[in-house]
């Protein structure tokens, strides 16, 4: 890879040492919940994955497997409640999806995703009892070894993996503050615990509040109770506090948002980790499709694989 010294190459490209074992598991959908707009939640019984996955790691889900069992639903010519239309074709590749909640005691994971294309559209048609073909856990999750108070910064659907992270950090006794940005409060994708309605951001951030995270929401639509504008505005206010640099930041969102947030954090001297997303092929480091530009120790840059070198990177490492 890139301009690396051979010793580093070995670590980066040819040594699965340090990687966890990747399991192939057939999970079973417990519950399929349409959320706001194009957002959807699947609760899946997948005890092997639930036992070992850590926040920031992802599952590579084959959205094609149970096509027969869901075909009636997907092929329905009349759009269903979640807006499904006639399926144009079958997805071929797996889709990398992070875990939103995990209950290892019950052997359950939940995924929260937005329908952005064919794969997620099919996935949202899975119903209770359907099998889900899962490869995982994949990638390096967040480094949770620190003890600083945590500042979680989410943009849009980036809230999904950060919700799992918040639960984990709180369980470890760390304080958690969440700053979230979204287009409008109703799009805030936190439909939780079977509550069927979300009326504004207060309910929208219900989970984060419920589990003890102090939260603030920025909304481009500027509904009451939200900070009108972008999440960068919230961060600006946050960074004005004297103790801001005592925090460790964890960010996930659109690339342009993470680039801006990273710049602000680095300038303020706040360390941080960013969860990246990229189109993937194999998900296990072999095909080199899902790369991002990163800095090496020698201040050169190279392409790193999001699937195995990430998806979590130090914000100082990423060339946005």
Partner 1 sequence: MAGGVRTNVEIAGVSLKNPVLIASGVCGYGLDFRCLADYRPEAVGGLVLKGTTLKPRDGNPPVRLVETAGGVLNSIGLQNIGVDALISDVLPQLAGSGSAVILNIAGHEIGEYVTVAERLAAAGGFNALEVNISCPNVAKGGMAFGIEPCTAAEVIGAVSHAVSGRFPVIAKLSPAAGDIAAVGLACVDAGADALSLINTVPGMAIDARRRRPVLANGVGGLSGPAIKPIALLRVRQVFLALKKARKNTPLIGMGGIVTAEDAMEFILAGATAVQIGTATFYDPQIGAAVAEGLEEILLDNYRCSGRDKDLNIRHYIGALEE
Q: Which residues bind partner 1 (CB under 8 A)?
A: 1-4, 6, 9-10, 13-16, 19-24, 62, 64, 89, 91-94, 118-119, 135, 278-293, 302-303, 308
CB of 296 to partner 1, least distance (A): 12
- Which CB, 10 or 147, lies closer to partner 1? 10
- Which CB, 58 or 62, lies closer to partner 1? 62
- Which CB, 237 or 286, lies closer to partner 1? 286
CB of 89 to partner 1, least distance (A): 5
CB of 263 to partner 1, least distance (A): 20
| CB contact set of 280 (below 8 Å; sequence gap of 6+) | 60, 93, 94, 96, 289, 290, 306, 307
CB of 299 to partner 1, least distance (A): 16
CB of 175 to partner 1, least distance (A): 35
Helix, strand or coil, per DSSP, at residue 306: coil
Q: Residues 295, 153, 319, CA angle at the centre, nearest 5°?
A: 15
- Angstrom distance (rounded) from CA 317 to CA 295: 5
- Which CB, 61 or 201, lies closer to partner 1? 61
- Which CB, 90 or 316, lies closer to partner 1? 90
- Angstrom distance (rounded) from CA 116 to CA 121: 7
Query: In b/e form, how buried is each residue of 32-50, taking b as 16+ CB within 10 angstroms?
Result: bbbbbebbbbbbbbbebbb
- Which CB, 55 or 65, lies closer to partner 1? 65
Helix, strand or coil, per DSSP, at residue 302: strand
| CB contact set of 193 (below 8 Å; sequence gap of 6+) | 207
Terminal Cα-to-Cα distance of the chain (whole angstroms): 19
CB of 138 to partner 1, least distance (A): 9
């Amino acid at each position: 890879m890139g301009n690396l010294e051979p010793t580093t190459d070995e670590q980066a490209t040819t040594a699965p040492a340090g990687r966890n074992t990747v399991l192939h598991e057939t999970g079973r959908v417990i519950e399929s919940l349409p959320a706001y707009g194009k957002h959807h939640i699947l609760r899946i019984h997948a005890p092997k994955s639930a036992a070992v996955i850590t926040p920031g790691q992802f599952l590579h889900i084959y959205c094609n497997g149970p096509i027969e069992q869901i075909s009636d639903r997907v092929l329905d010519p009349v759009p269903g409640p979640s807006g499904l239309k006639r399926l144009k074709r079958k997805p071929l590749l797996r889709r990398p999806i992070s875990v939103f909640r995990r209950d290892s005691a019950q052997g359950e994971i939940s995924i929260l995703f937005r329908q952005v294309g064919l794969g997620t559209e099919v996935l949202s048609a899975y119903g209770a009892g359907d099998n889900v073909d899962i490869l995982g856990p994949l990638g390096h999750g967040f480094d949770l070894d620190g003890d600083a108070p945590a500042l979680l910064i989410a943009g849009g659907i980036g809230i999904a993996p950060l919700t799992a992270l918040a639960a984990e950090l709180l369980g470890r006794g760390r304080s958690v503050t969440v700053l979230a940005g979204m287009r409008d409060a109703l799009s805030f994708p936190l439909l939780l615990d079977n509550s069927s309605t979300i009326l504004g951001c207060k309910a929208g951030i219900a989970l984060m509040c419920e589990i003890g995270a102090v939260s603030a929401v920025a909304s481009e639509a500027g509904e009451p109770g939200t900070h009108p504008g972008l999440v960068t505005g919230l961060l600006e206010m946050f960074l004005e506090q004297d103790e801001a640099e005592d925090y460790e930041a964890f960010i996930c969102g659109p690339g342009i948002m993470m680039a801006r947030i990273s710049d602000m954090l680095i300038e303020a001297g706040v360390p941080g980790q960013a969860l990246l997303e990229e189109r993937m092929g194999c998900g296990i480091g072999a095909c080199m499709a899902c790369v991002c530009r990163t800095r090496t120790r020698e201040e050169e840059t190279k392409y790193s694989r999001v699937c195995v070198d990430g998806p979590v990177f130090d914000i100082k490492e990423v060339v946005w």
